[in-house]
Amino acid sequence: MTTPFPKDFLWGGAVAANQLEGAYNADGKGLSVQDVMPHGITTPRTEGPTEDNLKLIGIDFYNRYKEDVKLFAEMGFKVFRTSIAWSRIFPKGDELEPNEKGLQFYDDLFDECHKYGIEPLVTISHYETPLHLSKTYDGWVNRKMIEFYERYVTVLFNRFKGKVKYWLTFNEINSILEEPFMSGGIYTPKSELSKQDLYQAIHHELVASALAVKLGHEIMPEAKIGCMVLSMPTYPLTPNPDDVVAAMHAEQRNDIFADIHARGYYPKYINRYFKANNINIKFEDGDEEILKHTVDFISFSYYVSICETGDPEKRKEGKGNLFAGVQNPYLKASEWGWQIDPQGLRVTLNKYWDRYQKPLFIVENGLGAVDELATDEDGNKTVHDDYRIQYLNDHLVQVGEALEDGVEVMGYTSWGCIDLVSASTAEMKKRYGFIYVDRNNDGSGTLERYKKKSFHWYKEVISTNGASLIDNNAKS
């Protein structure tokens, strides 16, 4: 088949430092919020690191990254999305001078990527606020965070200019509404936070993000800097106009984040929501001007779609969704209750393209599943993960449809391209990767790497630039 994917399409995979690096206290690294979240968002945080926190070791990427990058190169990756652990660079977060050993690690990692022609795509802050900033300043509720973040990004941009072309300012910035500690480093318990607190924290992040765009363009004129939002297309549960309006309002509360990043100002539709919820964002002098430094592209994660209804009696919320939503009766769900909707990705791409006319980058998409290690016909250990292949194939077919629709898509990085510790539940058995890592929920395992069936499938997808994808459900 002919392929709609452009020749320069950036195929690759995505990870986050806190979920795979390990080495949580090596070479001067300070603690992050992740070091006190042994079971993700499912249990209360601890006072300090505990042995049951799998992220302390992760998959030992810190010491094995050369082996892993070589495997990514074998698949044909054009791009590798990872994050920088803030507390590797500034162990506490509020120091004046960075930790050289932390910077050197990422220097070496990016050099290894370039050795194979892989372009790094770097998330500056991915759910790993330094724990000191969380405990001492209450994270992004405090405006002083802008100053600490500015210092951090200035160091990164000066150090890695010429090595990193693509940057993302914050991972899933809108997730702070649901998980303020993990996403925004806010130490105050969620139950004690008002909507005013949360939206003021979001404002501080938005100003910091725009400041990063400004600084990035000054320090690295050739670089492209994007935002990253958690996309969640919301359908009305029925054609009842009450449901349509409920879905509209839910979409608006999610759209505000990309709207401000892409347009440079707060949209008027949010004023009504702010007024109804006694939210009054405090702007400092200069904030409006800083927000005008808009992103070069929009990146997003896509896993699920949800429904909304105006009828409280019909609110049957889907489990597993980070953002509460109503279950769609027409969709199947993964083992963790995440509803599977490949066409929702096409809908999202079309919507964002129509709305912003900026290039789009799908930087997270994937299927978390329990994988069983098996043996192939040659006696090699592998995983026969046809379910993952089908999931990714069906979503990528819809990316192709969006490209045919005229949408400009820069690239696609599947989430957890190598097995890692999950963010929501902090377990190993919820696997996303093309590469199996021998580590179990109890911490046992050899950490050896094995290629899954999907490894070879994705290699072919990349080598054919999408021509090997199979449209199992052709629709116009």
Report if residue 2 sits inside a domain.
Answer: no
Is the separation of the CB atoms in 329 and 319 below 8 Å? Answer: no
With both helix axes pointing from N to C terminus, report the angle between 386-405 and 342-356 in degrees, rounded to the nearest 10.
Answer: 30
> Mean pLDDT over residues 324-333, rounded?
88
* pLDDT, average across residues 151-173: 98
- Residue 297: which residues within 8 A CB-CB, separation 6 or more? 224, 226, 358, 359, 360, 361, 410
pLDDT of residue 476: 45
The structure tokens 């914050």 sit at: 170
Is residue 296 in a domain?
yes
Residue 93 CB-density burial (10 A; 0-12 exposed, 13-18 middle, 19+ buried)? buried
Give pLDDT tens digits for 254-310. Answer: 999 999 999 999 999 999 999 999 999 999 999 999 999 999 999 999 999 999 999
Task: Please give the pLDDT value at position 2.
Answer: 76
CATH code at 317? 3.20.20.80
Taking residues 416-432, report their average pLDDT. 95
Range of the domain at 235: 10-464
Higher model confidence: residue 334 or residue 228? Answer: 228
In a domain, 5, yes or no: no
Measured at the alpha carbon of residue 135, what is the angle toward residues 133 and 141, in degrees to the nearest 5? 65
Catalytic residue among 364, 377, 401, 460: 364
Q: Are 425 and 435 in contact (CB under 8 A)?
A: no
Q: What is the pLDDT of residue 208?
A: 98
The reply to whether 61 falls in a domain is yes
Say what the pLDDT of residue 313 is: 86
Q: Exposed, middle or buried, 84 (CB in 10 Å: 0-12/13-18/19+)?
A: buried
Our answer to whether residue 364 is catalytic in this structure is yes
Among candidate residues 316, 345, 344, 317, the one with its CA nearest the CA of residue 412: 345
- Give me the helix-helix angle, 144-160 and 195-219, nearest 10°: 30
Confidence bin at 323 (pLDDT 50/70/90): low
Residue 4, in any domain of the structure:
no
57: in domain = yes
39-48, 66-75, 121-130, range with the lowest pLDDT? 39-48
Residue 1, in any domain of the structure: no
401: phi > 0 → left, psi -120 to 50 → alpha, else beta; which? alpha
**87-128 per-position pLDDT tens digit:** 999 999 999 999 999 999 999 999 999 999 999 999 999 999
Residue 476 lies inside a defined structural domain of this protein: no
Determine the pLDDT at residue 321.
46
Residue 316, both tokens: 């049957």
Domain count for the chain, please give it.
1
Give the Cα separation of 59 and 21 in Å (integer).
6
Mean pLDDT of 344-370: 98
Mean residue pLDDT of the chain comes to 96
